A and B are shown apart, each in its own frame.
Chain A
């Protein structure tokens, strides 16, 4: 179904959504736009290109307690942190990011053992996608290369597009339609004209082309497999890399995590939290042996994981070309360039 609302009424809608459960939406501060849990409706912005950090944290928080325990005499008393139950809304997600949730499902849900945390949040969350319309893509974006269009609906339950002064909401899934129905009061029915506009907008958006590069999954995978032992190549690619975790932390598809027990006094929690394959101690063993002790080995791991191993395991590239890693890299390493170089080999 297609519904609409005056842009001015956005705050009303937001308020309504907040009542429904946690709402995550883009908020602008002096450091740029990021997805935050919304308390005040006025905080939400729709005038942005894309967020600095990907919205993955909504499903995969940077840190979450798995178990909390109390140490003391005798046996510690532990209690498992209950899985989230609140319905959640994620508003304003750009198509490449929305698609990233699909990719992550493969790992967290698709491969034998299901990750309950990811699953529950995925089930509970309605994703309101926000396609790129009349927007010249950022220089470093390359989602086109990965077969993702600016108006890709994969991963979104609802699409939100602006129509001069109005906001159009298109239900794409049952989850999405259900939400729209729930808030029917706030919306007015879309007219045929709106339908036209929506389709036109989508068509228009679909025409957007970012940096492009032919990276067919199978070919890329084998390409990188053959390149693996080419140390010179990787050393050259990693020459500038300072092996910080920035790229992995802003990335929508990086999912590596660490688990640790952390205590203060007698209280503690077993936490799982983002980790980065770029960190020196990521693979450091108690024996002192470290299979990936060199910077180039870690960069290679990151690139190959996305453009080779993931393909071998799940048939898809785990990169959406959002360009975040490139944008926030302190030394401007560009994964697109690396792949391009690799394909040339």
Chain B
């Protein structure tokens, strides 16, 4: 029986600084042991506990797509301001070749079967875009693309410097099998793209709720204002999905920290539909 508390060794094979503040980096990790890699079967929306001995563990959403073979990617923000978070800070100091541990995959993925055959509206804000990126890349993969209807992506950040996955966004824009809308709250001299808050942009874009599912991740404030937009557009709460964040330790529903009512975000989440959240007590 595999001990769920013991991390598997992984090695950093690539580090990309996503934003000009260097506060957000994407780490590409490769398993040290093949069998671990085989055991690690995940889908977009799941997360894992990244472990650094001497510092601790930190739950991070998986930013890569299972369709990308041979590695995992995690986009990590250096947590804490005055008092930096131990794990994320240590991680940010790590470079190619360094090793750390990983436990997972944990939690439930975006409900792929449920999404199949539907039009997907992906809405993300800031660095909460990670598992959405995974989802988009998953859906765009040649084996999967046809399983889904129209795919549109709305992604926003406070300013151009804070947009993650810039290169990838570019390549998405080139494609004709999805429509991408990247926006920033406030542009700079070089910025030629859209300006405006995500909710507003969504309102203007007004995607049809016809056979459509909205998948939304972002800072609370963004969620708060985006939801009504989609409700207004006629999306049913079952068809609006999001991913919750809560303080976690074990990641397997034992330590009793991340529950919302009877549901553990780590085990029964992090993915929830608005309808499910409505049934849960307001405890998050």
Are the C-beta atoms of A291 and B262 separated by less than 8 Å? no
Are the C-beta atoms of B54 and A283 separated by less than 8 Å? no
Closest to B250 in A: A259
Q: Which secondary structure dominates chain A's binding surface? A: mixed
Are the C-beta atoms of A107 and B254 separated by less than 8 Å? yes
Pick from B85, B257, B262, B281: contact of A256, CB under 8 Å: B257
Task: Determine, out of A110-118, A126-134, A204-212, A332-340, the stretch whose residues face the partner at the interface.
Answer: A110-118
Q: CB within 8 Å of B: which of A53-93? A: 66-67, 69, 71, 75-76, 78, 80, 83
A313 interface hit (Cβ, 8 Å): yes
Q: CB within 8 Å of A: which of B46-74? A: 53-57
A111 vs B250: C-alpha distance when bound (angstroms): 14
A239 interface hit (Cβ, 8 Å): no
Pick from B6, B85, B88: contact of A80, CB under 8 Å: B6
Pick from B4, B53, B246: contact of A270, CB under 8 Å: B53
CB distance from A309 to the nearest CB of B (A): 4
Q: A76-B53, A112-B253, A258-B255 are in contact. Are A309 and B262 (CB under 8 A)?
A: yes
Q: Which residues of B have CB within 8 Å of A282?
A: 247, 257
Closest to A276 in B: B256
CB distance from B249 to the nearest CB of A (A): 5
B79 interface hit (Cβ, 8 Å): yes
Are the C-beta atoms of A301 and B283 separated by less than 8 Å? yes
Q: A67-B6, A259-B56 are in contact. Are A111 and B253 (CB under 8 A)?
A: yes
A185 vs B264: C-alpha distance when bound (angstroms): 51
Q: CB within 8 Å of B: which of A106-159? A: 107-108, 111-116
Q: Which residues of B have CB within 8 Å of A80?
A: 3, 6
CB distance from A158 to the nearest CB of B (A): 28
Produce 1/0 per residue, A262-298, CB < 8 A to B.
0100001010100101000011111100011000010
A255 interface hit (Cβ, 8 Å): yes
Closest to B49 in A: A259
Pick from B79, B88, B281: contact of A225, CB under 8 Å: B281
Are the C-beta atoms of B53 and A261 separated by less than 8 Å? yes
A260 vs B255: C-alpha distance when bound (angstroms): 12
Are the C-beta atoms of B283 and A257 separated by less than 8 Å? no
Q: Which residues of B have CB within 8 Å of A308?
A: 261-262
CB distance from A319 to the nearest CB of B (A): 15
CB distance from A192 to the nearest CB of B (A): 46
Q: Which residues of A have CB within 8 Å of B193?
A: none
Closest to A309 in B: B262
Are the C-beta atoms of A108 and B254 separated by less than 8 Å? yes
Q: Which residues of B have CB within 8 Å of A261?
A: 53-56
A333 vs B44: C-alpha distance when bound (angstroms): 45
Produce 1/0 per residue, B246-284, CB < 8 A to A.
110110111111110110000100000000000001111
A115 vs B4: C-alpha distance when bound (angstroms): 8
Are the C-beta atoms of B54 and A256 separated by less than 8 Å? no
B23 interface hit (Cβ, 8 Å): no
B80 interface hit (Cβ, 8 Å): yes
Q: A272-B5, A308-B262 are in contact. Are A283 and B246 (CB under 8 A)?
A: yes
Pick from B1, B85, B245: contact of A114, CB under 8 Å: B1
Pick from A67, A225, A257, A284: contact of B254, CB under 8 Å: A257
Closest to B56 in A: A261
Are the C-beta atoms of A255 and B53 separated by less than 8 Å? no
Produce 1/0 per residue, A299-338, CB < 8 A to B.
0010011001110110000000000000000000000000
Q: A259-B249, A309-B259 are in contact. Are A112 and B267 (CB under 8 A)?
A: yes
Q: Which residues of A have CB within 8 Å of B92?
A: none
A287 vs B82: C-alpha distance when bound (angstroms): 11
Other A-B contacts than A107-B254, A116-B4, A259-B249, 6 sampled, CB-CB below 8 A, are: A111-B253, A111-B267, A113-B252, A225-B281, A256-B257, A277-B256
Residues of A in contact with B (beta carbons under 8 Å apart)? 66-67, 69, 71, 75-76, 78, 80, 83, 107-108, 111-116, 225, 228-229, 255-261, 263, 268, 270, 272, 275, 277, 282-287, 291-292, 297, 301, 304-305, 308-310, 312-313
The 9 closest A-B pairs by CB, nearest first: A256-B256, A312-B262, A309-B262, A286-B79, A76-B53, A228-B281, A69-B53, A113-B252, A261-B56
Q: Please, could you name 13 A-B residue pairs with CB atoms under 8 Å apart, sorted by A?
A: A69-B54, A113-B4, A225-B261, A255-B256, A256-B255, A256-B256, A257-B255, A259-B249, A259-B250, A268-B53, A286-B80, A301-B283, A309-B259
